[in-house]
Amino acid sequence: MSQPYTFETQLLHNKYKVDPATGGVSVPIQHASTYHQPSIDHFGKYDYSRSLNPTREALEDIIAELEGGVRGFAFSSGMAAISTAFMLLSQGDHVVITEDVYGGTYRMVTQVLNRFGIEHTFVDMTDLDAVEQAVRPNTALLYAETPSNPLLKITDIRALSSIAKKHGAYTFVDNTFMTPYLQRPLDLGADIVLHSATKFLSGHSDTVAGLAVVKDEQLANRLYSLQNSFGAVLGVQDAWLVMRGIKTLSVRMNQSQDSARKIAQFLKGQPLIKNVFYPGLASHSQSDLQSQQAGGPGAVLSFEFGNEGLLPGFIDSVKLPVFAVSLGAVESILSYPAKMSHAAMPPEERKLRGIGDGLLRLSVGLENADDLISDFQQALYGLETAAAYREGLS
């Protein structure tokens, strides 16, 4: 029996490698919204593109294979995927959720689900005892981001899934930062894995997309019914862009991750930087756990200025990263969680979670790491020089 292909080869070689009708080496973009049916008694596989479309189906099959699930689902955004998965819950259910979760997920849980009688408890999921204590008789879901956004905390997926199963609850894992190249939550016991495919999977800042992969056929059927009911499906052009991005996922992740390691080490030695959050650093309290459950620390890190007043000057001085919302692209993206990814989280809640006003998140792209370090170095040196000058005047 032949050995299965490595992940890198699977990115390129799957059942959609060649179009059987033409031999084309790119999945055809099928724009049709509706499909002719043979007769009143015999309908074809496709009837209406909200329910199923050949181009979207190709992406859904590809991500299911890469994540090791039974079925994949493509949505119009990462939040559409997350929100639809949350709709598997019912009134009276309770969710235990990562405390420093993405701001959009925080908003969904605190401003939408609560209106439908779905309760929630935020916990530090690095503390499994705290997770266990947060579980109630009506807990239906444990929801994790690992690494978390933006503090890069690591949740033990296998242990979390075990707690969930003991209490008859589901485990959902947002795998956006890692992608299936570095981490496969379904293999570790999770029930649904979620992605903002806008990020590393597509990788080029040119599409908005969300993906979900389900481990169990029965649960997959339920999620399909919700996808079809809500209709927040991914358009065919965007599905094609995500598939194109997936082909280069491994080479992009490798280079970005290697650069992130170097940049994190550089920042850790800078006197103006109080904290660096990156699971690739030996000083990270969950670095061993990350290495056990994932193939690497990823390409996202956060760092915090000791004096938050220096942050605007740093942003004005750096030249290479774009200062923008989002992450996971070929270009490095520097973002400010307090006013970007976590703007939906009230200031007092951010403070409780350690998301300070001096915190920046960096998604490392494909630039040369030494160029990025030099850019950061000149910006930090400028701030140090200005501070020394002001001190001299005083």
Helix ranges (DSSP H) in the chain? 7-10, 54-67, 78-86, 103-107, 128-134, 157-166, 179-182, 217-230, 236-246, 249-268, 287-293, 311-317, 347-352, 369-393
Angle ∠(238,239,242) on CA atoms, nearest 5? 85
Q: What is the pLDDT of residue 122?
A: 97
Whole-angstrom Cα Rg for the chain: 22
What residues pair up with 145 in beta bridges, in sequence order?
Answer: 174
Whether a cis peptide bond, with omega within 30° of 0, leads into 20 is no
Decide the pairing of beta strands 322-323 and 333-335: parallel
Structure tokens that stand for 19 in this block: 């179009």
Instruction: Kindly state the DSSP code that residue 6 receives in the 8-state scheme.
Output: P
By the 8 A CB rule, do 251 and 11 touch? no
Distance CA 197, CA 213 (A): 12
Predicted local distance difference test score (pLDDT) of residue 131: 98
Q: Which two tokens stand for residue 25?
A: 């080496």
- CA separation for the pair 337, 112 (Å, rounded): 21
- Rounded to an integer, what distance in angstroms lies between the CA atom of residue 65 and that of residue 12? 12
| Nearest-angstrom CA–CA distance, 12 and 8 | 7
| Amino acid at site 389 | Y
Catalytic residues: 50, 102, 174, 199
Looking at residue 1, its pLDDT comes to: 39
Q: What angle do CA 124, 126, 128 make, to 5 degrees?
A: 90
Sheet with 94-98: list strands edge to edge: 71-75, 210-214, 192-196, 170-174, 139-145, 94-98, 119-123
The tens-digit pLDDT sequence of the chain (394 residues) is 345 789 999 999 999 999 999 999 999 999 999 999 999 999 999 999 999 999 999 999 999 999 999 999 999 999 999 999 999 999 999 999 999 999 999 999 999 999 999 999 999 999 999 999 999 999 999 999 999 999 999 999 999 999 999 999 999 999 999 999 999 999 999 999 999 999 999 999 999 999 999 999 999 999 999 999 999 999 999 999 999 999 999 999 999 999 999 999 999 999 999 999 999 999 999 999 999 999 999 999 999 999 999 999 999 999 999 999 999 999 999 999 988 878 888 888 888 888 889 999 999 999 999 999 999 999 999 998 876 656 655 5
* Mode of pairing for the β-strands spanning 300-305 and 273-277: antiparallel
Contacts of 354 (CB under 8 A, 6+ apart): 100, 151
In angstroms, the Cα distances linking 128 to 81, 132, 134, 290 are 26, 6, 10, 15
First to last CA, the chain: 77
Predicted pLDDT at 390: 62
Q: State the DSSP code for 108.
A: I
Per-residue model confidence as pLDDT tens digits over 60-117: 999 999 999 999 999 999 999 999 999 999 999 999 999 999 999 999 999 999 999 9
In this prediction, residue 320 carries a pLDDT of 98
